[in-house]
Amino acid sequence: MLSNSIGRNLPWLGTLKRKTLQTSLAVILPVLSASAMAESLTIGFSQIGSESGWRTSETESIKAEAERRGYDLKFSDAQQKQENQIKAVRSFISQGVDGILLAPVVETGWDSVLKEAKRLDIPVVLVDRGVAADPSLYLTKVASDFKEEGSLAASWLAAETNGRCNIVELQGTVGSSAAIDRKDGFAAVIENFPNMNVIRSQSGDFTRAGGKEVMESFLKAEGDASNICALFAHNDDMALGAVLAMKEAGVEPAKDIIVLSIDGVPDIFKAMMDHEANATIELNPHLGGPAFDAILAHRDGKEVDKWIKANGPLYLPDTAEQEYAKRK
Ligand code: GZL
């Protein structure tokens, strides 16, 4: 079809035999498609902050992927404040970027700024967390199923403790989809075990300092650790902070209290090698590729799924050394 149209519109081509034309097309088309692939985009990326080792890995991975593709990535670190993220998204919109990546610190409060982007047909891709907004307001979400992570964590703990365990829980950032859904997924499983109970639960805001501070308060409130069977932390950084608090209180982490968390950052594998952590569920930080591909697909007029999932497996100390070597 294309060969006919080229023949009609370029008379000099008319003298070429079909074979020659097909040869020409065989040369031209790959170049065209390659240049379409190498289309240089300008992308705005509103990142939450640098509260955890995982967050830093995610930022570095997305920046590296943009670099690899030759994109102009405009990066904003919101220091974990939603108002800074909204300001950054508005700035990207006024700069007329080709697409926006948003890691939403909390679930609510995004409708108006997402509508502003939609009005100008600037696709917004949610990376790593979700929003409580009309899905038509964003192109897609590239994130794990946090409920699945929570239920995987609880299922492992139930098997590990024969369904008998008093648990203290370090929740992530209040109002974040990661914290809300990990907590719900975990609770939905342990409610099937009458002798498994979350006896204390509080937010450590996904940071090491927060995890340490809250774990200190749990130990103080309990008087000693004998009534605590396990810690479930919504991320490794809070678990590592809690491990410090346990050691300062003379409690042996991973022995006196099981240490279970999520992210799979290098330091949690190091803690396993030091016999100070028991299990982690990997969270994939490499979200740039799927996010950028979704924007390209949108530009090509293709349908994009509303949720591009990337759940990871649970790791135990028996493979910690090789996992640490891969990640450090
Ligand atoms: C989850 C992500 C969480 C990580 C934490 O996708 O939003 O935020 O589990 C990070 O390490 O702070």
User: Tens digits of per-residue pLDDT, 42-58?
Assistant: 999 999 999 999 999 99
User: CA-CA distances (angstroms) from residue 232 to 47, 180, 315?
Assistant: 26, 14, 15
Task: Tell me if 10 is assigned to some domain.
Answer: no
The pLDDT of residue 268 is 98
C-alpha angle 82/84/88, rounded to 5°?
115
Task: Tell me if 191 is assigned to some domain.
Answer: yes
CB of 267 within 6 A of ligand 1: the answer is no
Same domain, 256 and 234: yes
Tell me the average pLDDT of the chain.
92
The pLDDT of residue 260 is 99
User: Considering the entire predicted model, what is its pTM?
Assistant: 0.88
Same domain, 207 and 132: no
Same domain, 70 and 133: yes
Same domain, 251 and 177: yes
Task: Tell me if 278 is assigned to some domain.
Answer: yes
Same domain, 106 and 205: no
CB of 51 within 6 A of ligand 1: the answer is yes
Torsion angle, alpha carbons of 37, 42, 48, 51, to 10: 70
Q: What is the mean pLDDT of residues 199-225?
A: 97
Same domain, 132 and 150: no
Task: Tell me if 292 is assigned to some domain.
Answer: yes
Same domain, 173 and 263: yes
CB of 47 within 6 A of ligand 1: the answer is no
Which of 283, 286, 311 to mutate for ligand 1's pocket (most ligand atoms within 8 Å of CB)? Answer: 283
Nearest to 269 by CA among 211, 327, 225: 327
Same domain, 153 and 278: yes
Residue 2, pLDDT above cutoff 50: no
Task: Tell me if 272 is assigned to some domain.
Answer: yes
Alpha-carbon span 193 to 164, nearest angstrom: 8
Looking from the CA of residue 206, the nearest atom of ligand 1 is 12
Q: Name the more confident of 19 and 108.
A: 108
For residue 188, report the distance from its CA to the centre of ligand 1, in Å: 21
One-letter amino acid at 260 equals L
Task: Tell me if 133 is assigned to some domain.
Answer: yes
Same domain, 50 and 167: no
For residue 90, report the distance from its CA to the centre of ligand 1, in Å: 24
CB of 127 within 6 A of ligand 1: the answer is no
CB of 229 within 6 A of ligand 1: the answer is no
Task: Tell me if 317 is assigned to some domain.
Answer: no
pLDDT per residue as tens digits for the range 28-37:
555 544 444 5
Alpha-carbon span 33 to 29, nearest angstrom: 6
Segments of 128-181 assigned E as strands: 140-143, 164-171
Segments of the chain assigned E as strands: 42-47, 72-77, 99-102, 124-127, 140-143, 164-171, 195-203, 230-233, 258-263, 279-283, 307-309, 311-315
How many domains does one find in the chain?
Answer: 2
Task: Tell me if 22 is assigned to some domain.
Answer: no
Residue range of the domain that includes 271: 146-282
Per-residue buried b or exposed e for 116-146, using 16+ beta carbons within 10 Å of the residue's own CB: bbbeeebbbbbbbbbbebeeebbbbbbbbeb
For residue 311, report the distance from its CA to the centre of ligand 1, in Å: 13
CATH code at position 218 = 3.40.50.2300
pLDDT per residue as tens digits for the range 306-316:
999 989 999 99
